[in-house]
């Protein structure tokens, strides 16, 4: 029994460590090219080396950590080509996800997303972390609402790369995409699949143009 409890605790700690490190990578607190030292990170996070080792191995398997020419583990640098390739995949998938989500996303979920967007729009200087959390919640709610788990997983993976790249850029707009997100939510609320598709196309195209104009 004790062994099983210890195994469960270790798995839980490894999962928590993974999520914390992933958040650091996505937010650029662990910037691209940063050397990852297992012992130092374990000390900083006050965890043993075993859960840290599992977390780092998982992130390496997902391609967010890579080995440099000397074999040293580093945070992957997301290049402009990586970004554009990932965004191209999103542009192929997310309009279809939005169209499909009109039949699945709940009114309660849409209400919560709209309320969060209202708060961002009303705040003259919103917390960037709240803006990013809203963006992730909206896009992943749509991905999940597509009803296609493979599509949702691919969108989630591609969003990791685009998020890392965008968060390492200078801030272009204090409240990016408010009008575009509002149009997406309106189409979802009206259960208009074609309007949702087109609103997502316009949004992702605006994101692409904004990044290219400010790169």
Question: Each residue of 2-26: pLDDT tens digit?
Answer: 445 455 666 788 899 999 999 999 9
* Predicted TM-score (pTM) of this structure: 0.86
Q: Which tokens in the block code for residue 206?
A: 């605006």
* 152/38 Cα distance (integer angstroms): 31
Domain 1-75 is in which class? mainly alpha
Residue keyed to tokens 């928590």: 16
Question: Each residue of 82-112: pLDDT tens digit?
Answer: 999 999 999 999 999 999 999 999 999 999 9
Instruction: List every span in the chain annotated with CATH 1.10.10.10.
Output: 1-75
- Residue 110 contacts residue 188 (beta carbons within 8 Å): yes
Mean pLDDT, rounded, for 29-44: 91
Q: Which tokens in the block code for residue 26?
A: 């996505």
Question: Each residue of 167-179: pLDDT tens digit?
Answer: 888 655 556 789 9
Given this model, what pLDDT does residue 46 score?
A: 86
Q: Please provide the CATH number assigned to the domain covering 80-214.
A: 1.20.120.530
Select the more confidently predicted residue: 44 or 205: 205
- Provide the 3-class DSSP secondary structure of residue 168: coil
Instruction: List every span in the chain annotated with CATH 1.20.120.530.
Output: 80-214
Q: Which tokens in the block code for residue 59?
A: 């992130």
Question: Each residue of 155-165: pLDDT tens digit?
Answer: 999 999 999 99
* Percent of the chain's residues with pLDDT above 70: 92
- Residue 196 contacts residue 99 (beta carbons within 8 Å): yes
Q: Per-residue DSSP letters for 66-132?
A: EE-TTS-EEEPP--HHHHHHHHHHHHHHHHHHHHHHTTTS-HHHHHHHHHHHHHHHH-SS--HHHHH
Mean pLDDT, rounded, for 116-136: 92
Helix (H) or strand (E) holding 65: strand 65-67
Given this model, what pLDDT does residue 7 score?
A: 59
Contacts of 66 (CB under 8 A, 6+ apart): 60, 73, 74, 76
* 95/190 Cα distance (integer angstroms): 16
Given this model, what pLDDT does residue 3 score?
A: 47
């Amino acid at each position: 029994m004790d062994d099983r409890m210890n195994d469960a605790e270790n798995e839980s700690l490894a999962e928590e460590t993974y999520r914390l490190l992933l958040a650091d990578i996505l937010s650029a607190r662990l910037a691209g090219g940063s050397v990852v030292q297992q012992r130092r990170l374990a000390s900083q996070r006050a965890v043993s080396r075993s859960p840290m080792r599992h977390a780092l191995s998982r992130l390496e398997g997902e391609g967010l950590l890579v080995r440099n020419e000397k074999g040293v583990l580093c945070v992957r640098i997301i290049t402009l080509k990586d970004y554009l390739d990932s965004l191209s995949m999103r542009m192929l998938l997310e309009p279809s996800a939005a169209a499909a989500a009109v039949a699945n996303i709940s009114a309660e979920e849409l209400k919560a997303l709209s309320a969060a967007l209202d708060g961002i729009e009303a705040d003259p200087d919103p917390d960037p972390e709240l803006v990013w959390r809203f963006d992730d919640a909206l896009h992943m709610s749509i991905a999940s609402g597509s009803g296609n788990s493979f599509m949702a997983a691919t969108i989630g993976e591609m969003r990791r790369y685009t998020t890392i790249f965008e968060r390492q850029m200078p801030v272009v707009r204090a409240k990016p995409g408010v009008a575009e997100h509002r149009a997406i939510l309106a189409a979802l609320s009206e259960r208009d699949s074609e309007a949702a598709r087109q609103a997502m196309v316009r949004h992702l195209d605006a994101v692409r143009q904004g990044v290219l104009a400010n790169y």
